[in-house]
Chain A
């Protein structure tokens, strides 16, 4: 393993742990689907980055931020058309992104991720992002827990529910951005959702659930990395398939 690969795997592991924790809260908040398609809105950003010769993370980050603000706004003014609006916005952003990125190779990378050539800056950004996610969730945990249970009760306790929701979406976006490098825009949401769903099947207390979710996410990355190396497969899809297998196995356990 080269030093570059070592850095990549360290980053992938910390990103995975952060994704697992964000995912377990997203699952409890039931914003999983909105969040999952949210990763698609990074695609036109990646396209713009190619066009303007910017760092892909910067481009993806910009459109993700826009997506977050749109979802936040829709959540606040919830009405029947929310899901339709989300569907329209994100499907069209995939199309727009595909038009902007007109090299086939780069499009594949944007959609499914690539592994090599990690720059020092990207490494530090990724590590900082993962750490930020874990720390902010830790700080927000009490307010998140109460608003998960009931937003009304949270508001009665003077918790700023709108702020908590926005902060959480931003963390979700950051987790997607961290995963973008390895998993690509189509699959970045997968590592947030799937390990958390499997962990939910296996556990029934909050602390154990969060820990298991992070653990399964990390396991998917490590095991996926090993398989992809051994059989010369693409890393991103391999990791997602591994996590999906874990999810299927988790269904075998009878829940109480």
Chain B
């Protein structure tokens, strides 16, 4: 079975600062890759380089048949924006000329209620908001989901529901995922592979074998430099 994605010697430099150096990994069909690392270690930038929205050097090779869906980190939606998830889904469907049945499929798959669909995005709760973003990503039947800490802004119960939803979707539709997470219990439960990132790729493999205490100490324990948190730039503009 061919890989959906092969990343070789990925390097990203932003504003003269090296964010990622020599990162290597692969993603096979249906695989569930967790990306872990401390704050500011370049995880979000890694996802962005996979989507081609930041400049990079090295190789990122996607299989031709790949359709990517992206679930960003919590977006600070403007409470005054009179835009609903129904508006957003219909906008995306019109841009890509998806039929109405595709929108219905995404809505049902992410278990969005009529109420969620018609509430302005700024008024949704954390869990509802993330489900709405998942529906938006599902539109177009992706076979890979890129998720940036999809549960960062929700309570534990909501977190559980999001993970279960994702797991169910991946199972049912054979969707591979690259999921950035802080949450090691998620990694042990759902991830088939794990990639540790702290500027460089520090570990890569099956979680149970890879995440030794020494590796985790090295990943989180050592002194690490703080740069400006990359997420803050775009979400507010």
B92 on the interface (CB 8 Å rule)?
yes
Q: How far is the CA of A146 from the CA of B234 in the complex (A)?
A: 13
The segment out of A41-49, A93-101, A150-158, A171-179 that lies at the interface is A150-158
- Which parts of A19-58 form the interface with B (CB within 8 Å)? 28, 30
Could you mark each residue 102-145 of chain A with 1 if its beta carbon is under 8 Å from any beta carbon of chain B, else 0?
Answer: 00000000000000000000000000000000000000011101
B91 on the interface (CB 8 Å rule)?
yes
A10 on the interface (CB 8 Å rule)?
no
B72 on the interface (CB 8 Å rule)?
yes
- Which A residues are in CB contact (< 8 Å) with B70? 153, 156-157
Interface centre among A146, A155, A156, A203 (most CB of B within 10 A): A156
Known: A149-B75, A156-B70, A200-B80. Is A206-B237 also a contact (CB below 8 A)? no
Q: How far is the CA of A159 from the CA of B52 in the complex (A)?
A: 12
| Chain B minimum-CB-distance residue to A210 | B82
Known: A150-B75, A151-B237, A153-B136. Is A142-B92 also a contact (CB below 8 A)? yes
A142 with B120: CB separation less than 8 A = no
- Enumerate the 5 nearest inter-chain pairs by beta-carbon distance, A residue then B residue, closest first: A142-B91, A156-B70, A152-B234, A145-B91, A155-B53
- Which A residues are in CB contact (< 8 Å) with B234? 150-152, 155
- Which parts of B139-160 form the interface with A (CB within 8 Å)? none
B72 with A153: CB separation less than 8 A = yes
A205 on the interface (CB 8 Å rule)?
yes
Q: How far is the CA of A142 from the CA of B91 in the complex (A)?
A: 4
B82 with A142: CB separation less than 8 A = no
B121 with A149: CB separation less than 8 A = yes
- List the interface of chain A (C-beta within 8 A of B): 28, 30, 75, 78, 141-143, 145-146, 148-153, 155-157, 159, 200, 203-206, 209
Q: How far is the CB of A231 from chain B (nearest CB, A)?
A: 36
B88 with A146: CB separation less than 8 A = yes
- Which B residues are in CB contact (< 8 Å) with A153? 70, 72, 75, 133, 136
B87 on the interface (CB 8 Å rule)?
yes
- Which B residues are in CB contact (< 8 Å) with A155? 51, 53, 234
Known: A145-B83, A146-B92. Is A30-B78 also a contact (CB below 8 A)? yes
Known: A78-B237, A153-B136. Is A203-B91 also a contact (CB below 8 A)? no
B13 on the interface (CB 8 Å rule)?
no
A206 with B136: CB separation less than 8 A = no
- List the interface of chain B (C-beta within 8 A of A): 51, 53, 70, 72, 75, 77-78, 80-84, 87-88, 90-92, 94-95, 120-121, 133, 136, 233-235, 237
Q: How far is the CA of A75 from the CA of B236 in the complex (A)?
A: 12
- Which A residues are in CB contact (< 8 Å) with B51? 155-156
Chain A contact residues, majority secondary structure: helix
Q: How far is the CA of A30 from the CA of B136 in the complex (A)?
A: 24
Q: How far is the CB of B15 from chain A (nearest CB, A)?
A: 11
- Which B residues are in CB contact (< 8 Å) with A142? 90-92, 94-95
Q: How far is the CA of A158 from the CA of B166 in the complex (A)?
A: 24
Known: A142-B94, A156-B51, A159-B95. Is A150-B83 also a contact (CB below 8 A)? no
A204 with B82: CB separation less than 8 A = yes
Interface centre among A203, A204, A209 (most CB of B within 10 A): A204
Q: How far is the CA of A155 from the CA of B77 in the complex (A)?
A: 16
A209 with B95: CB separation less than 8 A = no
| Chain B minimum-CB-distance residue to A24 | B82
A157 with B92: CB separation less than 8 A = yes
Q: How far is the CA of A150 from the CA of B137 in the complex (A)?
A: 13
Q: How far is the CB of B2 from chain A (nearest CB, A)?
A: 24
Q: How far is the CA of A153 from the CA of B233 in the complex (A)?
A: 13
- Which B residues are in CB contact (< 8 Å) with A148? 81, 83
Partner of B95, one of A143, A149, A200, A205: A143
B53 with A156: CB separation less than 8 A = yes
Known: A141-B91, A145-B87, A157-B92. Is A203-B78 also a contact (CB below 8 A)? no
A204 with B120: CB separation less than 8 A = yes
| Chain A minimum-CB-distance residue to B75 | A150
- Which B residues are in CB contact (< 8 Å) with A203? 82
Partner of B88, one of A145, A152, A156, A209: A145
Q: How far is the CA of A151 from the CA of B48 in the complex (A)?
A: 13
- Which B residues are in CB contact (< 8 Å) with A209? 82
